[in-house]
């Protein structure tokens, strides 16, 4: 890493190769005049006398052995102090990513050090996080509270943080405590709009029509949204429906940054709400008892003690892939477990029991349901079972820095059948162990913790946001004059814009 150091004597640098410092053997040598072309350079080899360059006509005193030893001590001290500084202040300098997930010659991959610190690649990101995010208060804009608490204000954040849609609450709460939060709109890179609409809708706080009307009301009161056309505004849609929970999303927030576990939705709608250029795939919300508590609710089993080759834990929902798996489990009950899960009533499966089933197989099958993403994919990493993706349209977080072929298997959903089980059975255990070890290295990126933690989902989201920072903000309703004044169509300066403002 440290191939050479440069000692600046006079005005020119002289390279000193690391760990090779020749020392002259003789106590003194006859001084010689340097050739003219070398007057301005110093030499630290033992082949020429050390006479340094002339300044203002006065020759410097000759370099003695004491000078040489002093210079070498200075270089040695610089070397060790630099190493000490680097190790003390760069805890994210990592070892290789899970053994096979990259090497020192592959700077584009995220890495986790032996101490558990996340090291994000410099390429395309910069060397450090530098963001300012404004988080709207629920009371500063009329209608925003309804999108978080329902029409009667009775739905609590605590009620919404549980379950697979809890990311909408977790991200909001983490940003409120983030060191990147700013309370000054004029200096913000991004504006976070907190809404819990999936939870509010599921709990009867607002219906679809009310959600749509309230969103439009909220947006019309945001001058900064109008200024950029929403390009610097962030929304979280944590379910398979994605931004479609806001029926008019394509009209009003089609340029905004959407955080969602769902990628392609063209199989359900005429147009997908996910855009790979501006939007960010986020992990699903895995049970806290499996991610943040120690010891976890359920611990992984050694491969030798797992009863099944594979399992599928979920309802049929009338989906072809799921129905095939359930049918296969009846033909191959010793290889594939598909228990009849009850999600309500006295036979409802508890969370601990669910994970006890999940950990009892080498491969966890993750077919699509109503949408292409599945929480089971993320859950499998915490019981250390290799996820097998059976959802052709599925998208995954942080794909530009994670090689998913090293930690999972993706199998065509059209080929679900005995052929799949035969393939999984043919995989050597050493390869299964390797994939599990690789997954163990990066699963911290599925955990919704503070960005101050060594590795967390929030770190990943913030790095992704940094790539989307715009120096300049514009929309088709924004104009500017020669002295950098931003105006609207009526040439009214931005500082004088008053809500409600017309929206597209």
- In order along its 504 residues, the chain shows pLDDT tens digits of 434 333 333 333 434 344 443 434 444 444 444 444 444 433 333 444 443 344 444 445 566 777 777 777 776 777 666 555 444 433 333 333 333 444 434 556 777 777 777 777 776 777 788 999 999 999 999 999 999 999 999 999 999 998 878 999 999 999 999 999 999 999 999 999 999 999 999 999 999 999 999 999 999 999 999 999 999 999 999 887 888 899 999 999 999 999 999 876 554 556 677 888 899 999 999 999 999 878 889 999 999 999 999 999 988 888 899 999 999 999 999 999 998 777 677 777 788 899 999 999 999 999 988 888 889 999 999 999 999 999 998 999 998 889 999 999 999 999 999 999 999 999 999 999 999 999 999 999 999 999 888 889 999 999 999 989 888 888 888 999 999 899 999 999 999 999 998 887
Alpha carbon 103 to chain centroid, angstroms:
20
Stated as kind and residue range, the H or E segment containing 459 is: helix 457-466
CA distance 377 to 369: 12
Global confidence as pTM: 0.76
Alpha helices in 53-120 (DSSP H): 65-89
CA distance 257 to 191: 10
Residue 305 is given by DSSP the state G
Among 307, 359, 301, 352, which Cα is nearest to 333's?
A: 307
Contacts of range 423-426, beta carbons closer than 8 Å, 24 or more positions apart = 424/309, 424/310, 424/362, 424/363, 424/388, 425/309, 425/335
3-class DSSP state for residue 15?
Answer: strand
CA distance 130 to 126: 9
CA distance 266 to 231: 23
CA distance 150 to 196: 9
What backbone phi and psi angles, to 5 degrees, belong to 190?
-140, 160
Residue 166 is given by DSSP the state T
What would the two tokens of residue 119 be? 């090291």
CA dihedral 144, 149, 151, 153 (to 10 degrees): -110
Question: Residue 257 in contact with residue 281, Cβ under 8 Å?
Answer: no
> Hey, how many other C-beta atoms are within 10 angstroms of the C-beta on 199?
26
Options 3.20.20.70, 3.30.2450.30, 3.90.1150.10, 3.40.50.2000; CATH of 292-447: 3.40.50.2000
Pairing of strands 181-182, 190-192: unpaired
Contacts of range 332-335, beta carbons closer than 8 Å, 24 or more positions apart = 332/418, 332/421, 334/308, 335/308, 335/309, 335/310, 335/421, 335/425
Residues of the chain with CATH 3.40.50.2000: 292-447
CA distances from 70 to 23, 29, 350, 377, 478 (A): 11, 18, 71, 60, 64
């Amino acid at each position: 890493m440290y191939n050479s150091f440069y000692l600046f004597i006079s005005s020119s640098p002289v390279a000193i190769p690391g760990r090779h410092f020749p020392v002259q053997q003789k106590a003194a040598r006859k001084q010689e005049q340097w050739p003219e072309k070398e007057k301005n350079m110093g030499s630290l080899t033992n082949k020429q006398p050390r006479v340094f360059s002339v300044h203002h006509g006065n020759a410097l005193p000759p370099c003695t052995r004491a000078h040489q030893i002093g210079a070498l001590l200075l270089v040695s001290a610089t070397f060790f102090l630099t190493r000490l500084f680097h190790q003390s202040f760069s805890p994210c300098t990592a070892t290789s990513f899970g053994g096979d997930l990259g090497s020192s010659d592959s700077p584009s991959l995220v890495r986790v050090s032996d101490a558990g610190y996340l090291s994000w690649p410099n390429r395309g990101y910069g060397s450090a996080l530098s963001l300012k995010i404004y988080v709207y208060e629920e009371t500063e804009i009329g209608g925003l509270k309804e999108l978080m608490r329902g029409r009667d204000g009775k739905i609590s954040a605590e009620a919404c943080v549980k379950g697979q849609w809890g990311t909408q609450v977790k991200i909001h709460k983490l940003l409120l405590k983030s060191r990147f939060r700013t309370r000054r709109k004029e200096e913000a890179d991004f504006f976070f709009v907190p809404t819990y609409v999936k939870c509010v809708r599921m709990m009867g706080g607002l219906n679809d029509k009310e959600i749509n009307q309230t969103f439009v009301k909220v947006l019309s009161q945001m001058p900064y949204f109008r200024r950029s056309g929403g390009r610097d505004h962030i929304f979280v849609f944590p379910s398979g429906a994605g931004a479609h929970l806001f029926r008019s999303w394509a009209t009003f927030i089609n340029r905004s940054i959407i955080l969602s576990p769902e990628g392609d939705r063209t199989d359900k709608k005429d147009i997908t709400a996910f855009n790979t250029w501006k939007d960010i795939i986020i992990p699903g919300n895995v049970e806290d008892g499996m991610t943040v508590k120690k010891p976890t609710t359920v611990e992984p089993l050694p491969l030798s003690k797992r009863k099944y080759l594979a399992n599928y834990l979920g309802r049929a929902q009338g989906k072809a892939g799921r129905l095939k798996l359930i049918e296969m489990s009846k033909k191959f009950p010793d290889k594939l477990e598909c228990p009849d899960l009850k999600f309500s009533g006295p036979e409802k499966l508890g969370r601990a029991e669910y994970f006890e089933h999940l950990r009892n197989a080498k491969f966890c099958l993750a077919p699509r349901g109503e949408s292409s993403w599945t929480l089971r994919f993320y859950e499998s990493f915490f019981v250390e079972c290799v996820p097998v993706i059976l959802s052709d349209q599925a998208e995954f977080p942080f794909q530009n820095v994670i090689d998913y072929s090293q930690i999972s298997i993706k199998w065509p959903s059209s080929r679900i059948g005995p052929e799949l089980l035969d393939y999984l059975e043919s995989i050597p255990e050493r390869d299964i162990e390797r994939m599990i070890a690789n997954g163990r290295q990066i699963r911290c990126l599925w955990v919704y913790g503070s960005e101050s933690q060594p590795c967390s989902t929030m770190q990943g989201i913030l790095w992704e946001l940094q790539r989307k920072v715009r120096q300049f903000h514009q929309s088709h309703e924004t104009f500017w004059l020669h002295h950098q004044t931003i105006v609207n169509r009526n040439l009214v300066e931005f500082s004088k814009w008053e809500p409600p403002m017309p929206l597209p």
